[in-house]
Structure 1
Amino acid sequence: MKTALDDRNLPLKGITTDGSPLYPEPIRKVFGDVPHQLCIFHIIKDLTKGILKAVAKERERLAQTKPKLKRGRPSSTDKEARR
């Protein structure tokens, strides 16, 4: 890519990547001090994934603390089920 840009005398103004930790060092070696930004789509995707994981974990925790009731409608003599 660097060769193709150089052959056409096109300046590289910046690079956008998905945020992998593998990119910064090779980019710096090949292109020098070029601005590097993270793709907003990938940032939002990772945030959403983390939030959904936290919500699922909390739902699981809440489900375990839910009281165990008998099935059906409580009878008028079943005081425990009314609470």
Structure 2
Amino acid sequence: MNSKSHAPETPEEYQRRQSQIRREIDPVTGRTRLIKGDSEILEEIVTKDRHRSINKAATSGDGEYYESQSQILAKRQKPN
């Protein structure tokens, strides 16, 4: 039962996996993040104007999320 799925990972396979960079969107806040390998989060260098627009969109998304959560909690705590 010597299949490749049960064998240890070689250094080359590990390096290949860790060198992959992907863009993921957080489904809750809508923020986009660069993820390297399994879980390392990278920073992206952007212009000042792009940074401002990213921050504005992220702050807006955060506000909408927390507002929706506070409304859900308020409905749960409301005495009948």
TM category (shorter chain) comes to 0.3 to 0.5
- Between 1 and 2, higher relative CO (CA 8 Å, sep ≥ 6) is seen in 1
Please state which structure has a larger fraction of its residues in strand: 2
Task: Return the TM-score normalized by structure 1.
Answer: 0.38
